Amino acid sequence: MTDVLDVAIVGAGVSGVYSGFRLLSTNRDQRVEIFEGDDHVGGRLLSATPPGIPNMVAELGGMRILPSVQPRITKLLEELNAGTEDPAELIETYDFPVDDPDNIAFVRDIHLRLRDFEESPGAIPYNLSFQEEGKTAGKLVLDALEQIVPGITSKDLTEADRRQLAQETSFGGKPLYRQGFWQVLMRVMTSEAYQLAKIAGGYQSTLSNWNAADAIPWYLSDFGVSPDYKGFKKGFQQVPLTVAQRFEAVGGVVHTGARVVSFEPDGEVVSLKLVTSTGRAHRPCEASDSGDAPSRARAVGS
């Protein structure tokens, strides 16, 4: 058999294995192989069982989805489960509450439960204004966003409505799309409330200084109005692992421990240079069409 592939995919993260599966699902006559530098499939979706806690799955990368704003993965799960005959292999999700009163917050060396923000405001080690006291980190930001774009936290709006509203709104005499998120937040929150929201909100980067008209609807979709997340009972990594199995079932090949260090024209093919666990290797990949320059070979990156 020739060593030339039709498609080489670099990386067996969820996008690499999904691309391979889709390519082979539409045309099984192709030779499609995936080259993964690491020793596992899944990339940034990595789930582990901690030693001594066999019933627990620890997520070392992605941990949850928000079906209302991630329709593609939601549809993929339905499709994968519909093609599963063994119930033990179903990808099952569970409700992943982010605002449970028992959730732990550890701020400025103080251990708190989420309920303390509302029930024991004196225990919160931040110098908040009287309007800010008694609110959780999420509520502080929601109230600030409502002041910046009145009406945007209404549950009746769709994500598209909120995006449009933010694009059309001016704040302090300037369109929001010309301002930074941090700048507008700091006009309606005290610095202490901003610091608390940043540290107790879980993700510092979301409140950093990106475009305010993009950030506000994004924040509300991901954290704000109705954040009904789902976690994965067997870990998020089950998704790329299942897709990889389906890819292999239709003739695809996944190589782990095979890092692509470069790809170069080599006659009518593109030759992939790999560093494998067993040393360097070369892998040619056929150009997309014999008349094309080899640099247009269908190597897919992820």
Ligand X SMILES: Cc1cc2nc3c(=O)[nH]c(=O)nc-3n(C[C@H](O)[C@H](O)[C@H](O)COP(=O)(O)OP(=O)(O)OC[C@H]3O[C@@H](n4cnc5c(N)ncnc54)[C@H](O)[C@@H]3O)c2cc1C
Provide, rounded to whole angstroms, the least separation between the CB of residue 34 and ligand X. Answer: 9
* Residue placing its CB nearer to ligand X in the complex, 17 or 124: 17
User: What is the Cα–Cα distance from 35 to 242, expressed in whole angstroms?
Assistant: 17
Distances 289 to 25, 217, 266, 269, 294 between C-alpha atoms, Å: 21, 43, 14, 10, 9
- Asked if 231 touches ligand X (CB under 6 A), the answer is no
With CA atoms as reference, report the closest residue to 230 among 40, 14, 67. 67
- Asked if 259 touches ligand X (CB under 6 A), the answer is yes
- Asked if 294 touches ligand X (CB under 6 A), the answer is no
Number of residues near ligand X (by CB under 6 A) = 22
Range 95-124, binding ligand X (CB under 6 A): none
Contact residues for 136 (Cβ-Cβ < 8 A; gap 6+) = 99, 114, 117, 118, 200
Across the strands, what pairs with 248?
none
The HSE-up count of residue 79 (CA atoms within 13 Å, CB side) is: 14
- Asked if 10 touches ligand X (CB under 6 A), the answer is yes
- Asked if 13 touches ligand X (CB under 6 A), the answer is yes
* Residue placing its CB nearer to ligand X in the complex, 262 or 290: 262
- Asked if 38 touches ligand X (CB under 6 A), the answer is yes
Helices (H), the chain: 14-26, 71-82, 114-119, 137-148, 159-168, 181-188, 191-200, 212-219, 238-249
Interface with ligand X (CB under 6 A), residue from 20, 62, 227, 294: 62
- Asked if 16 touches ligand X (CB under 6 A), the answer is yes
- Asked if 15 touches ligand X (CB under 6 A), the answer is yes
Find the part of the chain contacting ligand X (CB under 6 A) among 13-21, 116-124, 143-151, 171-179: 13-21
Crossing angle, helix 212-219 and helix 181-188, to 10 degrees? Answer: 70
* Residue placing its CB nearer to ligand X in the complex, 41 or 144: 41
Provide, rounded to whole angstroms, the least separation between the CB of residue 247 and ligand X. Answer: 13
- Asked if 254 touches ligand X (CB under 6 A), the answer is no
Interface with ligand X (CB under 6 A), residue from 5, 7, 9, 11: 11
Contact residues for 141 (Cβ-Cβ < 8 A; gap 6+) = 185, 197, 201, 207, 219, 223, 224
Find the part of the chain contacting ligand X (CB under 6 A) among 63-71, 107-115, 159-167, 278-286: 63-71
Q: What would you measure as the largest C-alpha separation in the chain, in angstroms?
A: 75
* Residue placing its CB nearer to ligand X in the complex, 74 or 164: 74
Interface with ligand X (CB under 6 A), residue from 4, 63, 199, 300: 63
Helical (H) or strand (E) element with 259: strand 258-266
With CA atoms as reference, report the closest residue to 206 among 191, 223, 189. 223
Interface with ligand X (CB under 6 A), residue from 14, 80, 91, 216: 14
- Asked if 93 touches ligand X (CB under 6 A), the answer is no
Identify the DSSP state of 228.
Answer: -
Number of residues in the chain: 302
- Asked if 260 touches ligand X (CB under 6 A), the answer is yes
Interface positions with ligand X (CB under 6 A) = 10-16, 35-38, 43-45, 61-65, 259-260, 302
